[in-house]
A = this chain, B = another copy of it.
Amino acid sequence: MTLRIGVIGVGMIGQDHIRRLTEVLSGGRVVAVSDVDHDRARKIASALPGCTSHVTGEELIADPNVDAVVVTTWGPTHEEFVLAAIEAGKPVFCEKPLATTREACERIMSAESGAGQRLVQVGFMRRFDASYRALKDAVDSGRIGAALMMHCAHRMPEAAPNYTSEMAITDCLIHEIDLVRWLFNDEIAAVRVLKPRGNSNTQEGVDDPLFVLIELGSGILVDVEVSANIRYGYDIRGEVVGESGTVALADNTDVVLKQGAHYSGRVPSDWRERFIRAYDIEFQEWIDNLAANKPPAGPTSWDGYAATAVADAAIEAMRTGNRKTVMLATKPDFYQD
């Protein structure tokens, strides 16, 4: 019972997911693709056995051979494709962000709850990373007492030339935003953004690094260093501080080298190296759930909405330098666990 998947948007990320679905995972097959660049879609489709290309995402969604949809297009187009998939009653995996405005997210929640079944999963892959899962297990086990703080660092070696300060929020911090909501099973109440001394390697006009303070409803205080040009590697750090202990992501390395008066281990060089298995597991679990006629078990439309709302507040906080309260709609019953 292979799950037949249509992929809307076959840029770099879309192609990587197609490779994953085709060559790595079990139980799914890419049967249709579409892209704003029709030639690219045709080319991709012709290289995959039994795959057709569609001119629009809507056509792809309507294709009766397509059981489930993956959306990896440009953020501003997410809303229309997700809404169309809901309309068609088809499960849809949407890369983050769910949509670029709170209002768009609310329309998606409204449509999905109207449809009466969970159809949407948002692409926050860290929830599927083995280390983050072990972190959550340790927190949930009570071994460090109640969580009080979390120290995070989100470090990238080199930002793209078009990088902006806002992207530090919408493309980077967004992962910690979702992560801490999931980790502590709580909503974010307020956010502050501080600007430390700037990195001289940074793009003109960009504030880098940033230091973000996130307050959860329970009072847990999360600090996040976002460094976009730190050169040495792609390094994602996280330590939860509890009442009687702490638990932290380990520095993992395959081997330890001793040479030249030092021992050393490897830091990942990019997000692919760090999170490749998280992406695999994210999609394998999605496929397994759908194949078993279960709803997707990953981040929901509500999670996508909350992340967007917090990111909006963070951008505002960054602009003003002030603490910004996050205003969330009441969580619909439909999204209560």
Contacts and interface: CB of A to CB of B under 8 A. Distances in A.
Contact of A250 (B1, B148, B246, B255): B255
Nearest to A291: B23
B211 A197 contact: no
A27 B26 CA distance: 8
Given A143-B259, A149-B225, A245-B259, 20 more contacts: A23-B288, A24-B26, A134-B255, A135-B254, A144-B258, A145-B231, A146-B197, A147-B197, A149-B197, A151-B225, A197-B219, A229-B243, A231-B243, A233-B262, A247-B256, A248-B258, A250-B256, A253-B263, A262-B267, A263-B265
A250 B135 CA distance: 20
Tier of interface size on chain A: 35 or more
Contact of A135 (B196, B199, B213, B255): B255
Interface in A249-271: 249-267, 269
A211 B223 contact: yes
Contact of A232 (B25, B256, B258): B258
A201 interface: yes
A262 B252 contact: no
B221 A246 contact: no
B261 A267 contact: yes
A131 interface: yes
A229 B148 CA distance: 12
B247 A227 contact: no
Contacts of A266: 134, 261-262
A96 to B, nearest CB: 23
A221 B197 contact: yes
Given A134-B255, A144-B259, A232 B244 contact: yes
A36 interface: no
B254 A258 contact: no
Interface string A269-289: 100000000000000100010
A220 interface: yes
A92 to B, nearest CB: 22
A167 interface: no
A121 B211 CA distance: 35
A246 B261 contact: no
Contact of A200 (B243, B245, B267): B243
A88 to B, nearest CB: 27
Interface in A200-226: 200-201, 209, 211, 213, 218-221, 223, 225
A266 to B, nearest CB: 6
B257 A143 contact: yes
A22 interface: yes
A148 B196 CA distance: 6
A194 interface: yes
Nearest to A265: B263
A201 to B, nearest CB: 6
A111 interface: no
A49 B291 CA distance: 14
